[in-house]
């Protein structure tokens, strides 16, 4: 983990235009090391924005996707997301019926 940046600040990349989201990451450069990508961006961009952020030097990633489905489906989705190496992602839970 990169210790030269303050990772308490997470910048949201929930932008309608993927080019502008990528430009923001490039503009902020080394000053920011932690980004959040929400479900809307994932639906629009697929994994391309995730890969762009992960390929920037030492960028940490929070996937705010709020996964919610039957357990086996969430488990498969979680395994797929884990391959993208986020620091964490959200799962929405509920008590068993």
Q: Which of 9, 10, 20 is nearest to 45 (CA)?
A: 20
* Alpha carbon distance 21, 43 (integer Å): 14
Which letter does DSSP use for residue 64 in this model? E
CA atoms within 13 A on the CB side of 9: 8
Question: Is-catalytic flag, 66?
Answer: yes
Hunting for tokens 């959200």 — which residue is that?
90
Residue of 20, 36, 59, 66 marked active site: 66
Beginning with the edge strand found earlier in the chain, give each strand of the sheet holding 60-67 in spatial order.
11-12, 34-38, 60-67, 88-91
Give catalytic residue positions.
66
């Amino acid at each position: 983990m990169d210790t030269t940046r303050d990772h308490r600040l997470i910048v949201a990349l929930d932008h309608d235009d993927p080019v502008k989201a990528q430009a923001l990451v490039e503009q902020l450069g080394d000053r920011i090391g932690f980004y959040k990508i929400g479900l809307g961006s994932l639906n629009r961009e697929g994994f391309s924005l995730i890969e762009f952020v992960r390929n920037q030097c030492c960028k940490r990633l929070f996937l705010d996707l709020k996964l919610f489905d039957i357990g086996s489906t969430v488990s498969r989705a979680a395994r797929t997301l884990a391959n993208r190496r986020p620091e964490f992602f959200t799962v929405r839970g509920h008590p068993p019926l």
